[in-house]
């Protein structure tokens, strides 16, 4: 008889580098490969524990002296848009949504380049070429969609791509992996509009959550996420409703961070798969966790 053993996911830690959100701090990530027959189950399970997907990798911030990056999600059933959000919906009612398979196009890349050059010219993705962009969109081992929003040109002359969101479909919600939009329409608040539209898509599909990525207390770049009603953040191993952002100021304290081995030991995996972690600088660099 031939027995097939389960592949145990290994967790790795990146080298520290300057944090893009909080000045003077260093960031570090805990990550694992997303592959094989269990990829979707891994993505579903670890997303519920604060992980995010980037191509075929799942990662979660694991900084040595800070735990400020908190995974955020919206409870769809309890969400109520503000007056300003309702204005954003009305302002963009001319947009047409088209959810397609994860396939990169020249129109997407052109919009992506204009977005980066206008808003993130010094960011980590500023040098991304068309092949790297295609990999970001297409290299997904899970259920993903490219959600395009297009606006009409002059009557009878077609439509222009206005915004794009790469979205994962989880077993309990929609996860916005990456989004970008036409910088010429900055006044239309297309970033907020895409979140609002994903809330509606999740509502229609009967999915309870919309995952927004990370919220970072003290980071002006992330303030907009705290404006959404019915927001939860993953803090100290559980999802907590966001009521007062000041409640999470202690996440920048060094003692808020448990050791890497302890973090991995707490990770819940599909079907009780064992996990291993490799830690740079530790002799042998490997521990097992169940």
Quote the pLDDT of residue 166: 98
Integer CA distances (angstroms), 87 to 93, 196, 202, in order: 10, 12, 21
Quote the pLDDT of residue 145: 97
Do residue 94 and residue 142 come from a single domain?
yes
Structural domain count, the chain:
2
Do residue 18 and residue 86 come from a single domain?
no
The residues, any chain, with a CB within 8 Å of residue 252's CB and separated by 6 or more, are 22, 25, 66, 67, 68, 217, 218
Largest CA distance in the chain: 68
Structure tokens that stand for 214 in this block: 């990370």
Do residue 91 and residue 18 come from a single domain?
no
DSSP 8-state secondary structure symbol assigned to residue 196: H
- Looking up residue 244, the CATH number of its domain turns out to be 3.40.630.30
Classify residue 1: in a domain, yes or no.
no
Quote the pLDDT of residue 253: 67
Closest listed residue to residue 226, CA positions, set 247, 242, 248: 242
Do residue 266 and residue 159 come from a single domain?
no
* Distance between CA atoms of residues 241 and 248, nearest Å: 11
The phi, psi pair for 181, rounded to 5°, reads -155, 170
Do residue 53 and residue 98 come from a single domain?
no
Quote the pLDDT of residue 155: 63
The residues, any chain, with a CB within 8 Å of residue 72's CB and separated by 6 or more, are 211, 212, 213, 214, 215, 225, 231, 232, 233, 234, 242
Q: What is the mean pLDDT of each run of 10 residues along the chain (290 residues)?
A: 57 92 90 92 96 96 88 97 97 95 96 88 75 95 96 73 97 97 94 97 98 90 88 92 78 73 89 55 40
Do residue 92 and residue 121 come from a single domain?
yes
DSSP 8-state secondary structure symbol assigned to residue 240: E
Q: Which domain holds residue 54?
A: 10-70+250-289
* Distance between CA atoms of residues 185 and 170, nearest Å: 30
Quote the pLDDT of residue 154: 64
Quote the pLDDT of residue 275: 55
């Amino acid at each position: 008889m031939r027995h097939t053993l389960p592949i145990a996911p290994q967790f790795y830690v990146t080298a520290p580098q300057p944090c893009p959100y909080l000045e003077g701090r260093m960031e570090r990530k805990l990550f694992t490969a997303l592959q094989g027959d269990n990829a979707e189950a891994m993505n579903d399970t670890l997303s519920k524990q604060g992980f995010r997907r980037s191509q075929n990798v799942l990662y979660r911030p694991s900084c040595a002296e800070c735990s400020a990056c908190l995974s955020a999600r919206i409870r769809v059933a309890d969400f109520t848009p503000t007056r300003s959000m309702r204005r954003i919906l009305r302002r963009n009612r001319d947009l047409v949504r088209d959810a397609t398979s994860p396939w990169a196009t020249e129109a997407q890349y052109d919009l992506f380049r204009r977005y980066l050059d206008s808003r993130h010219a010094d960011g980590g993705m500023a040098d991304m070429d068309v092949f790297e962009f295609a990999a970001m969109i297409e290299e997904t081992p899970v259920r993903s969609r490219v959600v395009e929003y297009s606006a009409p040109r002059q009557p009878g002359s077609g439509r222009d791509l206005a915004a794009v969101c790469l979205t994962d479909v989880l077993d309990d919600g929609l996860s916005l992996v990456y989004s970008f939009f036409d910088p010429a329409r900055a006044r239309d608040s297309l970033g907020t509009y895409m979140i609002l539209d994903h809330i509606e898509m999740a509502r229609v599909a009967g999915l309870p959550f919309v995952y927004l990525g990370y919220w970072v207390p003290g980071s002006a770049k992330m303030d907009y996420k705290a404006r959404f009603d019915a927001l939860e953040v993953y803090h100290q191993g559980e999802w907590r409703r966001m009521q007062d952002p000041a409640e999470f100021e202690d996440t920048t304290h060094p003692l808020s961070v448990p050791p890497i081995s302890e973090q991995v030991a707490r990770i819940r995996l599909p079907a009780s798969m064992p996990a291993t972690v490799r830690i740079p600088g530790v002799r042998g660099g490997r521990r097992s966790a169940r």
